[in-house]
Amino acid sequence: DTEVTQTPKHLVMGMTNKKSLKCEQHMGHRAMYWYKQKAKKPPELMFVYSYEKLSINESVPSRFSPECPNSSLLNLHLHALQPEDSALYLCASGIGTSGRGGYTQYFGPGTRLTVL
Amino acid sequence: AQTVTQSQPEMSVQEAETVTLSCTYDTSESDYYLFWYKQPPSRQMILVIRQEAYKQQNATENRFSVNFQKAAKSFSLKISDSQLGDAAMYFCAFGASGTYKYIFGTGTRLKVLA
């Protein structure tokens, strides 16, 4: 089972709103990722959590705030976003070790975010 | 720094035919992984196939196989007996062992013609 779930599927928000994206996996993976993807482009890494600690922040603006409450759950809190933040937000999880499977990432279906 | 190049922005293939998508990469790492992901219009990134650099044998998953040429730093994906459901954007990705970050290529859009 390589399922990563994301909610909601679609989100429309105003620039003054606060919203959250949720990602969940039950594969025992210890690495979890947030990506931003614009149309016809590859995903761009935003954050990586390893063993529930923030491991990588790719200089993402503070209006995006990640949270990893436990090993199965990853949130992305959104506040005061700009229209250019409209994109597909993908979550991924991975084993996160140098063992068999290496750092293979398994992606969720994404949340389509529109900022008005 | 690592780079991944997909030189074919778009490819077309007739249903039931075979198509090869190209990917080249550049790295000074000796231990790494290479991946092909498929992203259909439904938008979920699906892992198609994975290749460990230390393995000489080319990876195969049903109708999908790779031609991994380590010295040439080439990692092409062959899709046999193409099906309408294979239509998608295909991304090649590089991951150095011991790091979490992937380097993605720019993608190849595959169209399957009935």
pLDDT tens figures, A13-36: 999 899 999 999 988 888 999 999
Give the HSE-up count for residue A69: Cα atoms under 13 Å, Cβ half-sphere.
9
* Surface-to-core class of residue A100, CB atoms within 10 Å of its CB (0-12 exposed, 13-18 middle, 19+ buried): exposed
The residue ranges of chain A whose pLDDT is under 50 are: none
Are A41 and B107 within 8 A, CB to CB?
yes
Asked if B110 and B43 touch (Cβ cutoff 8 Å), the reply is no
Nearest to A56 among B42, B101, B104 (CB): B101
- DSSP single-letter state for residue B78: E
Find the closest chain A residue to B107 by CA distance.
A42
pLDDT digits (tens, 9 = 90+) for B37-77: 999 987 899 999 999 998 889 999 999 999 999 999 999 99
